[in-house]
Amino acid sequence: MAAKQDSLDPQTRDLVRFAAAIAQGYEPELRERVSPLRSSQVPVQWVEELLLQSVLMTGYPRALVAFTVWRKFSGVPAPDDDEGQDYGRAAEWTRRGEEVCGTVYGENYRKLRESVRVLHPAVDAWMLTEGYGR
């Protein structure tokens, strides 16, 4: 039987492995996953976006550990500023979030919004602005 070939390109594969390590929250595993990111030349912007999304998906503690490991072992400094700091753009983020979320969920979009709103209206707002709009 032939060995199974990895169907992901090296950059995507290494980014997914780093994402899995973030979700596990095990710091030694995170450290092991930084070097492959650099050797397969994963764009820094991809890693930064993964780390930002990790705050939403895995929580602050794991995301903060992942950011710390990335900064320390990659040598990539934090950006001086980010458009996500400009809360004057919140209406734009909401509009964009509605559009992107609607595209992702298609005909299930309204049902998703209703289901999330029932859980808590703030989570519905965060889903749009933080999860899909920024």
Q: Is residue 81 one of the residues assigned to a domain?
A: no
Q: Higher confidence at residue 132 or residue 82?
A: 132
pLDDT at 83: 80
What mean pLDDT is predicted for residues 82-95?
90
What mean pLDDT is predicted for residues 86-114?
96
Q: What are phi and psi of 8, to 5 degrees?
A: -95, 145
Q: Is residue 90 one of the residues assigned to a domain?
A: yes
Taking the C-alpha atoms of residue 72 and residue 64, their distance in angstroms, rounded to an integer, is 12
Claim to verify: residue 18 and residue 69 sit in the same structural domain: yes
Q: Is residue 4 one of the residues assigned to a domain?
A: no
What mean pLDDT is predicted for residues 47-60?
93
Q: Per residue in 60-80, pLDDT tens?
A: 999 999 999 999 999 999 988
Taking the C-alpha atoms of residue 104 and residue 89, their distance in angstroms, rounded to an integer, is 22
CATH of the domain at 14: 1.20.1290.10
The whole domain housing 110 covers 86-133
For residue 1, pLDDT over 60 is answered with: no
Taking the C-alpha atoms of residue 131 and residue 23, their distance in angstroms, rounded to an integer, is 17
Q: Is residue 3 one of the residues assigned to a domain?
A: no
Q: Per residue in 106-124, pLDDT tens?
A: 999 999 999 999 999 999 9
> How many domains, the chain?
2
